[in-house]
A and B are shown apart, each in its own frame.
Chain A
């Protein structure tokens, strides 16, 4: 079997920094899918940029060595011929919003955009885009603006656009964290078809379990060097606990209807209750209304009808900053709220808003920075952190409010195995202390480990409820409920 990808990298540096990657060799044969697991800041994204022909050029950096793809050699002395490289390597990254081109008005145009740039005629562009939309279940959304989709739907659009030119090598750098069950199934199908056509794929992630079952071979990237063989297996902790005995209901939702445009409800008759000390997960396909539901609970979106009570207060009438004393919220894109000159300042922002004394603000900031493991990074600018650490910085700033309820939207996105373990341990401890957790996540491993109960949402309606144990054991969801989002590999 001839080699499709042959990378021999001596070193790769960013301006003013030492080597990020060094002495790295990577070979892939036709039809091979390689998984590369590495902790955060180990150089995964840099490797992805290199394979996609972005360094040097679009991303400032210097590399020495050579990369051969399908017999074409590139020596890193300058950017590759982009038009040719589009057909060689396709790259999708972690944050889908930033990978929308801004040059397309509809989902169909976004997927067909690279083909237009290759000079294909409108009919061929439309036909190819239609096929990819079908593959990723985006047909009904074809005429919508890609900016108006949920993050999970945007991730599918990005995957479609990446695959449009038919690259010989597909590189996915954590480009699956937001996918639901249907999205994962589509990705599996695409990889299987690609293998049959003699194409190859490089999948990069901080989570070993994400890649198990998808990749033929696993490699371990650490300290800028690629090591053969399976990476160290992360310890699977026990289900979090001990669980405090659930108390009275602290959160009550009754027949809730809400949405963004009149006549187009996103939530259509949602009802559930959460008791003090309980951990409830909201699970469902992309666009099911999970994040919207959190916005209503936080007082950020007024309900059309129905009742939402937080500790007896009507969340539909209370201002969000008053509810902030009761519910701490980790948004889906936490980077958007971070703005302080240092991580420490950002974590202190919330307690300061609550009018606490300077000493108490300092105490909380240090305590929660240390709890999430950011103590030694507290002096850095939050946007200089990797996405995983940035998410934990945002979590620390949420935890510093010390609210009785925590509402966390996709808290595991971008985390590596180490950070994931830290998060699960921390949430288990908080639950043991009696905090109430409301989780929105596509990560069933996480849901199974942390949640007590799961509410399934689909099309803005609750379609079932189960214990998290049932979810883990595979007996949930029951017949008639939507298949929840399932990452590959064992849970």
Chain B
């Protein structure tokens, strides 16, 4: 299992690309389901299953409900059967299942890439591959600090509430409260950016040597095999299913 945790970001990207391409091979529900099952297994192997499921359900839950309700009841040109007071269209339900299967496989591929690769590892991998450290840091900082910024925003809201700032009431009152939350957030972000620059200097990040990460032939095989496998599946799917 730990072998999956240690995979390089580029390898996870290759795996995700493979799943993404394969999802377009056909809209057969079995393909979508199979790809999703494989993605779930990989998420579990990389110890990200809980986060994977949470995000997937949050994203696809409302979509699934909409798809089945709209196509199950209103799918154009499909015959229907009466279920109580409703007129359900089986062809519409099948269409919803196919669409959902493909969407799930595509979303799973993207999630696999984003959840299995911690931002710090992407950053260090980019720097090791020769991307200038400042650029690499800038690219990853947006992802890296989203949760930290959210946590800081929560702390600031908490601090201002304990100074009597009410967060209820009319729009004008809430608008005034917004200033007391946004301004310290911006100010502290500026302070943090300056301090973080000093820290990276002290840790020697700006002079980090370029060092292409050592990786085993097996890992290279996984990366390219997954990406090419996905492309091949797509080509075959197009040939067979049109």
For A351, list chain B residues within 8 Å (CB): 164
Is the beta-carbon distance between B120 and A104 smaller than 8 angstroms? yes
For B139, list chain A residues within 8 Å (CB): none
Binary A-proximity of B189-204 (CB < 8 A = 1, otherwise 0)? 0011001111111111
* CB closest chain-B residue, reference A340: B183
- B119 located at the interface, meaning its Cβ lies under 8 Å from any Cβ of chain A in the complex: yes
Q: Would you give the shortest CB distance from A141 to chain B, in whole angstroms?
A: 16
Complex CA–CA separation, A119 to B212 (angstroms): 11
* CB closest chain-B residue, reference A165: B204
Complex CA–CA separation, A69 to B188 (angstroms): 35
- B60 located at the interface, meaning its Cβ lies under 8 Å from any Cβ of chain A in the complex: no
Is the beta-carbon distance between B152 and A320 smaller than 8 angstroms? no
Tell which of A24-32, A54-62, A132-140, A305-313 binds the partner. Answer: A54-62
For A147, list chain B residues within 8 Å (CB): 147-148, 151
**Given A101-B203, A105-B118, A349-B180, A324 and B161 contact (CB-CB distance below 8 Å):** yes
**Given A98-B195, A350-B163, A118 and B204 contact (CB-CB distance below 8 Å):** yes
Binary A-proximity of B119-151 (CB < 8 A = 1, otherwise 0)? 111011000000000000100010011011001
- Interface residues in A313-370 by Cβ distance below 8 A to B read 319-321, 323-325, 327-329, 331, 333-339, 349-351, 353-354
For B51, list chain A residues within 8 Å (CB): none
Is the beta-carbon distance between A103 and B191 smaller than 8 angstroms? no
Binary B-proximity of A274-301 (CB < 8 A = 1, otherwise 0)? 0000000000000000000001001110
Contact of A339 among B180, B198, B206 (CB under 8 A): B180
Is the beta-carbon distance between A103 and B120 smaller than 8 angstroms? yes
Complex CA–CA separation, A431 to B64 (angstroms): 61
Complex CA–CA separation, A116 to B210 (angstroms): 11
For B155, list chain A residues within 8 Å (CB): 331, 333, 336
- B167 located at the interface, meaning its Cβ lies under 8 Å from any Cβ of chain A in the complex: yes
For A329, list chain B residues within 8 Å (CB): 159, 162
Complex CA–CA separation, A83 to B209 (angstroms): 10
Which residue among A86, A105, A299, A398 has the maximum number of chain B CB atoms within 10 Å of its CB? A105
For A320, list chain B residues within 8 Å (CB): 158, 161-162
Is the beta-carbon distance between B161 and A98 smaller than 8 angstroms? no
Is the beta-carbon distance between A117 and B203 smaller than 8 angstroms? yes
**Given A320-B162, A336-B188, A119 and B209 contact (CB-CB distance below 8 Å):** yes
Is the beta-carbon distance between B191 and A335 smaller than 8 angstroms? yes
For B137, list chain A residues within 8 Å (CB): 102-103
Q: Would you give the shortest CB distance from A393 to chain B, in whole angstroms?
A: 13
Contact of B159 among A101, A336, A353 (CB under 8 A): A336
Complex CA–CA separation, A353 to B169 (angstroms): 13
For A58, list chain B residues within 8 Å (CB): 197-198, 201
Is the beta-carbon distance between B161 and A319 smaller than 8 angstroms? yes
Complex CA–CA separation, A320 to B209 (angstroms): 50
Complex CA–CA separation, A300 to B160 (angstroms): 11
- B220 located at the interface, meaning its Cβ lies under 8 Å from any Cβ of chain A in the complex: no
**Given A117-B208, A339-B180, A339-B184, A101 and B164 contact (CB-CB distance below 8 Å):** no
Contact of A298 among B162, B184, B205, B208 (CB under 8 A): B162
- A114 located at the interface, meaning its Cβ lies under 8 Å from any Cβ of chain B in the complex: yes
Q: Would you give the shortest CB distance from A340 to chain B, in whole angstroms?
A: 8
Complex CA–CA separation, A78 to B123 (angstroms): 28
Complex CA–CA separation, A335 to B167 (angstroms): 21
Is the beta-carbon distance between B167 and A98 smaller than 8 angstroms? no
* CB closest chain-B residue, reference A351: B164
Is the beta-carbon distance between A324 and B188 smaller than 8 angstroms? no
Q: Can you name 14 extra interface pairs (CB under 8 A) apart from A103-B123, A116-B208, A298-B162?
A: A91-B202, A99-B195, A300-B162, A324-B163, A327-B162, A334-B159, A335-B188, A335-B191, A336-B152, A336-B184, A349-B163, A350-B164, A353-B163, A353-B165
Those 5 A-B pairs whose CB atoms lie nearest each other, nearest first: A353-B164, A337-B159, A98-B195, A117-B204, A105-B118
Give B contacts to A, CB under 8 Å.
118-121, 123-124, 137, 141, 144-145, 147-148, 151-152, 155-156, 158-168, 180, 183-184, 187-188, 191-192, 195-209, 211
